[in-house]
Amino acid sequence: MVPDAELQLGVVIKALRDVVAPAVDPDNKLALEQLHLSIATVGLVQRGLPLAHARARQELLNALDLAEAVGAAGCPVETMPAQAALADPAANETRLDDARRAMLIAVEQAVADAAGTERETAVARAVIRASKPQCDLARAWSAPAGFEVEPDALPPLADLLARGSAAAP
Amino acid sequence: MPDVRDAPDETFIAAVRSRFSVEPEIDRVLTAKLRNRVASGYTAIPLDTLAQGAAALIRSEIADDFAVRNARWLGGGASKLQMAFDLDWNGTDGGARRTTALVLRMEPPASIVETSRAREFEMLRLMQGVVPVPACYWVDATGAHLPHPGLIYAMAEGVANPSARPSQQVSGIGTNFGPDLRPVLAGQFVDSMAAVHTVPAARFAELPSFLVPATGGTDGIVRQLNWWRRVWEEDRPEAMPLVEVAYRWLLANAPPLDHVSPVHGDFRAGNFLYSEQSQQITAWLDWELAVLGDRHQDLAWTTGPHFGHYAEDGRTFLASGLLPAEELFARYEAASGLSVDRQRLRYYRVYNDFASCVHMLATACRVARHGQTHQDVLVAWIAMIGNVISGALRDTLEEII
C-alpha cells in the first residue's frame, strides 16, 4: 500500500528533526531530551519493522530451545502450543509472542519448583546456557541505543535472526 | 494475553506481600504503587500546580512568611520529576530576609524505581557533613500537600558532565570527563565513597525508615533480594527464567555482613555534580536507592561495565569513567580502612545485575506501558540497557554455577 509504513516513519523523523526540533524552546531541557529520544525511538522502530516476523519466530524458537533444555534437565515443560504456532503459516507476531510468553511462564515456574531439589543445579545450568541466544538477540536488537561498551563484539543481528527468517512460512 | 499485573487486585497484592518479606517502608511504597496502578496514568502537571503544592508543603512547616518565585522545570534523571524555584524567606534560623534556590523532587504516578521519599530525605540529612549533598529542607512522604510524594532541597551548583564533552547518553551514563579532569575527580570520588561507607553505626538511629541489618547475618541482603524479586513479580511484562535462577543463587549464597554501611545504591558518574571552575565535587544526588547494607554493593556497581568506558589508549577500562577498578579498590581500602573482598564483589555484581534487570526489564517497561511518568519515552529508551545487563548477568552466572 502507498504510502507504506517505512515511508511514513521516515517523514515523521524528518519533520521532528528539521521542523519541530528548531522550534522547541532551547531552555526547555525536558522537551528537547524527549524530542531527540522520540526521533531515535521512531528510527529504531523503522529499522525493526521489516524484521518483525522473523524476530517473533526467532524469539519463540529461542524460548522453545530453553524449554527443551529445562525438560532435559528433569523439568518437562509443555511445548505443544509453541510448536503449533511455529508450524502454522498464518501465525502472526501476536500469536507467536503469546505462545512464547506462556511457555516462559511455565519455564520460570519450573525453575522455582526445582529449588531445593537435586535437579536445581542442572536446571539452572540449562537455563543459563540456553538463554544465550535470546540474550544476544535482545542486545543486538537494542545495540543502536548505544548502551553497549563493545557493540562490535556482538554477533550480527542477521545471524541471530537466521532461523527465524529461514523458517518463516 | 490477560495479565493480572495490568490491574492488580487485592488478592494479587496480598499474595506478593505475603510471599516476599521486605522492610516496612518498602512494603508501604510498593503496595501503594500497585493500588495506584489502575487509577493513575500520568497527566501533565502544570508548573503552577507544583509551585502551589511546594508552597503548601512549606506553609505546613514555617507558616506564611515566604514567597515561591521563578518556578521552572529541571531535566536530568530517569525517574523523578524536578522543579527549580526560588524561595524568599527568613531561613530556618528566622534571620535576615534572603532568597534560596531550591529544587522540588517529586514522584510521578510511577517510577522506573519505586522508592520512598522519607528514606531519601533521612539519608540526605544523614549525609550532611559526610559528603557534599544539598541541604534538605522538607519532605511530603505521602503526597499530603503535593500531587505525589516529594521533597525539597537546595539547588546544588555544578554540572554532571563536562560542558565541553556532553554525554551522548541519558542519565549521565558513559560520561567522559577527559584525561585532565579525570584524576582530579577520581580521588574525590573514592574519598566520597569511603566516607559514606564509614558513617558510624551510632548515627543509624537518624534513619527511622530503615531497618538496620545484623552484622554477621544475611537478613539485610535477603530483604533486598525479596524487594527486587517482589518488584519483578509485580511489574514484569513477561517471564525471564534467568532472573529466577539469579534470585535462587543469590539467596543460597548470601554472604554474612561484615560491616553495616550506608550504601548509596547508584554511586557512579552522572550522580554527582562538580564545579567546572574549582573541579571539586559539589553534591552527591539520587539517594533514593540507599540502603543500610554491604559496601561491596556500591563497589561492584561503580565498577560495572555499563558505567565506564575505555581511556584514550583504547585498552584501559575506566570505572565510572574515572579510574581503573583495581586502582579504585586499592585507594578505597586506604581511604576507608575497610577491605575489598573479591568473593563479595562477585556476589554483589550478580546482585546488582539482578536488581537492574528488574528495574529495566520489568518496571521501566511497566510504567511506560501504563503511561505513568512525565518521560515515558526516556523510560522506554533506558529500558534497553536491561538487555545489556541481562547478558552480563547470564555470562557471570555461567562462570559461577
Q: What is the mean pLDDT of chain A?
A: 94
- Who wins on pLDDT, B75 or B325? B325
How near does any CA of chain A get to the CA of B400, in Å?
10
pLDDT band at A168 (very low <50, low <70, confident <90, very high): low
Q: Is the pLDDT of residue B307 over 60?
A: yes
Whether B2 has its CB under 8 Å from any CB of chain A: the answer is: no
Concatenated DSSP letters for B127-190?
A: TTTTS----EEEEETT-SSSSS-EEEEEPPPSBSS-TTS--SSGGGTT----TTTHHHHHHHHH
pLDDT at B77: 64
If one counts every other C-beta atom within 10 angstroms of the C-beta of residue B207, the result is 19
C-alpha B126: how far from chain center = 16
Whether residue A128 and residue B240 make contact (CB cut-off 8 A), yes or no, is no
How near does any CA of chain B get to the CA of A161, in Å?
16
Condensed to tens digits (0 to 9), the pLDDT of residues A39-60 reads 999 999 999 999 999 999 999 9
Q: Is the pLDDT of residue A121 over 70?
A: yes
- B window 160-199, beta carbon within 8 A of A: 168-170, 173-174
| A82/B355 Cα distance (integer angstroms) | 30
Q: In terms of Cα–Cα distance, which of B283, B355, B287 is closest to B80?
A: B287
Find residue A42's DSSP bridge partners: none
| B167/B176 Cα distance (integer angstroms) | 7
Condensed to tens digits (0 to 9), the pLDDT of residues B10-30 reads 999 999 999 999 999 999 999
- Diameter over CA atoms, chain B: 64
pTM of the model: 0.94
pLDDT band at A29 (very low <50, low <70, confident <90, very high): confident
Whether B1 has its CB under 8 Å from any CB of chain A: the answer is: yes
Q: Which residue does chain A place closest to B304, by CA atoms?
A: A149
Q: In terms of Cα–Cα distance, which of A112, A140, A132, A126 is closest to A62?
A: A132
pLDDT band at A167 (very low <50, low <70, confident <90, very high): low
Q: A41: Cβ–Cβ under 8 A, 6 or more apart, which residues?
A: B377, B380, B381
Dihedral sign from CA coordinates of B49, B54, B57, B58: negative
The x, y and z cell numbers of residue B95, run together, are 534571620
Q: Is the pLDDT of residue B241 over 60?
A: yes
Condensed to tens digits (0 to 9), the pLDDT of residues B371-397 reads 888 889 999 999 999 999 999 999 999
Please say whether the beta carbons of B377 and B399 come within 8 A: no
Whether residue A98 and residue B1 make contact (CB cut-off 8 A), yes or no, is yes
Burial class of B144 by CB neighbour count within 10 A (0 to 12, 13 to 18, 19+): exposed
- B window 291-310, beta carbon within 8 A of A: 305-306, 308-310
The x, y and z cell numbers of residue B13, run together, are 497484592
pLDDT at B343: 97
Rg over alpha carbons for chain B, rounded to the nearest Å, is 21
According to DSSP, residue B336 is labeled H
Location of C-alpha cell 537518624: B206
Q: What is the mean pLDDT of residues B224-246?
A: 97
pLDDT band at B360 (very low <50, low <70, confident <90, very high): very high
Whether residue B394 and residue A29 make contact (CB cut-off 8 A), yes or no, is no
Dihedral sign from CA coordinates of A136, B353, B18, A70: positive
